Each structure stands twice: as structure tokens, then as C-alpha cells.
Amino acid sequence: MATVFDRISNIIRANINDMLDSAEDPEAMLNQIIRDMNDALRQADSDIADQIAQQKMLEGDLDAAQRNEAAWQSKAELAVSKSRDDLAREALLRVNDYTEQVAIYTKQLDGQKNAVTELKSKRDLLKSKYDQALRNRDNLVARARAAQAKTRMTQVTTKSNTADYASELDRMEHKIRHQEAVADANEEVADSKTSVDDEFDKLGANDQVEAQLAALKAKMGK
């Protein structure tokens, strides 16, 4: 009986909402909790029936002891009325034996009744919690999922807030500007080389013209 007491007590003390909030799959967790409750209820009903049966046996034993006690008391009184002290003494010994049995059975019965009452009370509490879980099953799952989603969103938001996007953009802009500057420099160098080549070509062309001009002047006596 202690085992079922402990099991029921643990389930009753369990905070279903907290269990669902921490579960990866709230629906599966709640279904398992409901199955555990149902199993505990069936076990509790079986144990209560056993305890009630033991209580009835104790009640029968107590009733028999009380009847025997009363019967031997009557016999002792009869023996005294007949001046049979020897029989009266024997009868009184039997009375004392049954009186002791009555005390023992009474104490055992009281304890048994308390155990049955406690088990019934815990069983009723578990039944109430079980019924509540069944009624609120969808709502509990929805609340648990909402809490998980809120937690995930908070984590994402916190991560986003801690990210230094401004610095990342600055670094990217600096890199692009550097690439642009390199491209401009390369273009300028290329243009510079072209200009120098052109100058040299012009110089060559001028020398040829000057030579031709001098030859023409000489021919003409100029």
C-alpha cells in the first residue's frame, strides 16, 4: 500500500504546467501523464478494495471477540450464581483473553480505517486532477507550445540585439571602398602608360616630318 501511496502523492504534487513547459513534445508528455494517472487510479481502486476487504475481516474478528467476551462473562456470572467459583475463575480467564483480543482488533481496525480513508482521499484528489487534465488537455498543450515559442522568440531577439550589425556594415563599406580605390588606381596607371606611349609615338612622327622638311628645303635651295 505504501507504494501506491507514494506514486499517487508524487503525481498529485507534480506541476503539470511546469512539466509541459520543459517538454520537447508537450502533447506526448501530457498523454503520458494522463496514462500514468489512469494507471495509478486503477491500481488505487484495486488496493482500496484489498484494504476494505482486510477492514471487513478485522471487523468480523472484532465482532467475534466481543461476542465471545460477552458469552464468557455471562458464564462467569452463572458460575458465581451457582457457587462454582472454580468455573467462574476459568470463565473470567476466558473473558480476559477475549477482552485483550477486542483491544488488539479495535486498534488494528482503527489503523485500517485510517489507511482506507487516506487512500480514498488521495485517490479522489488524483481523480480530480485526472479529470481536469482531460478537460484542459488541448488548452494545456496550446499554453505549453505558446510558452516554448515565446522562449524561442526571446532567444532570437536577444541574439539579434547582441549582434553588432553596424560594425559589420562599416567593415563591408570599407572593403568596397578599398576595392573601388584599387580599381581606380589600376585604371589610372593604365591610362598613364597609354599617354606615355602616345607621346613617344608623336616624338617619332615629328622627327620624321622635320627630316622630310629639311630634305625638301635643300632640294629647293632654301
Which CATH number covers residue 61? Answer: 1.10.287
pTM reported for the whole predicted model: 0.54
Domain-terminating residue out of 119, 136, 163: 163
Report pLDDT for 40.
Answer: 87
CA dihedral 193, 199, 203, 208 (to 10 degrees): 90
Task: Return the pLDDT at 30.
Answer: 79
* 129 and 188 within one domain: no
**What domain range includes position 47?**
2-163
- pLDDT one digit per residue (tens) for the chain, 222 residues: 445 556 666 665 666 666 666 656 767 777 888 888 898 899 889 999 999 999 999 999 999 999 999 999 999 999 999 999 999 999 999 999 999 999 999 999 999 999 999 999 989 988 988 888 888 777 777 776 777 677 767 766 665 555 555 676 777 777 788 787 877 777 776 665 556 566 656 666 666 667 766 776 777 775
Q: Which of 59, 51, 162, 64 is nearest to 116 (CA)?
A: 51
Question: Where a domain ends, among 135, 163, 191?
Answer: 163
Cell of 22: 520543459
Same domain, yes or no: 174 and 84: no
Q: Is 26 exposed, middle or buried (CB count within 10 Å of its CB: 0-12, 13-18, 19+)? A: buried
DSSP at 82: T
Same domain, 66 and 172: no
User: Which position has the grid cell 540585439?
Assistant: 161
Based on the fold, state whether residues 210 and 123 are members of the same structural domain: no
Q: Are 68 and 98 in contact (CB under 8 A)?
A: yes
- Residues 49 and 13 placed together within one structural domain of the fold: yes
- Among residues 163, 180, 213, which one ends one of the domains? 163
> Quick one: 110 and 57 in the same domain?
yes
**40 vs 37: CA distance, rounded Å:** 5
Does residue 71 share a domain with residue 7?
A: yes
In Å, how far from its chain's centre is CA 188? 68
Residues 60 and 118 in one domain: yes
Q: With CA atoms as reference, report the closest residue to 148 among 28, 24, 15, 33.
A: 24
Please indicate, yes or no, whether residues 142 and 116 belong to a single structural domain of this protein.
yes
Q: How many domains does the chain have?
A: 2
Both 174 and 205 in one domain: the answer is yes
**Locate cell 517538454: which residue?**
23
Residues 30 and 140 placed together within one structural domain of the fold: yes
pLDDT of the residue at 165: 57
Report d(CA 35, CA 40) in Å as an integer: 9
Exposed/middle/buried for residue 122 (C-beta within 10 Å: 0-12, 13-18, 19+): buried
**Sign (positive or negative) of CA dihedral 187, 188, 193, 199:** positive
Residues 29, 139, single domain; the answer is yes
